Structure 1
């Protein structure tokens, strides 16, 4: 049985955010994170979104890699 393939679009959809590539890029450009702010502590997430991000990080699979990618992109601002 083939495992599901996840993309950043999937994560954004699960977060209840627009999930097309342009919307993701726009979100990242609009929400840069300072180096000292952890992704799951950013003030622009709802409690449910924070919970989902934490859950995906703890999954330690492809989901965690996506959260890591989002973390890097938000801290780089691109």
Structure 2
């Protein structure tokens, strides 16, 4: 049984990015996406980060929810 909690902090940790709440907010503010850009296709991801995001969206657990949260926030810029 997988008891790990998934949230934006754990995602940003896995992406190798600063993961404190204010750092996540700063990243989102600095990297807004337009409506036509898919999250995994954003220009600012490395290949390894893109692969991590693709793994998260493919999961049938809270990781997909966290992926969706990041997607919405980057598209809203908030």
Mapped partners of 2:61, 2:51: distance in 1:
17
After superposition, the C-alpha distances for 1:45-72 in whole angstroms (9 at most, x for unaligned) are 0000000000010012101110100000
Structure 1: which 4+ aligned runs deviate by more than 3 Å?
A: none
Aligned to 1:22: 22
Tell me: CA distance 1:2–1:49, structure 2 relative to 1, closer, same or farther (3 Å).
closer
After superposition, the C-alpha distances for 1:2-25 in whole angstroms (9 at most, x for unaligned) are 611111101000000000000000
Q: TM-score, normalised by structure 2?
A: 0.96
Unaligned 5+ segments in structure 2 are none
* Comparing 1-10 and 26-35, the one that deviates more: 1-10
Root-mean-square deviation (CA, aligned residues, Å) is 1.0
Q: Say if 2:41 is the partner of 1:48.
A: no
* Structure 1 position 75, deviation (Å): 0.1
Q: TM-score, normalised by structure 1?
A: 0.96
Unaligned 5+ segments in structure 1 are none
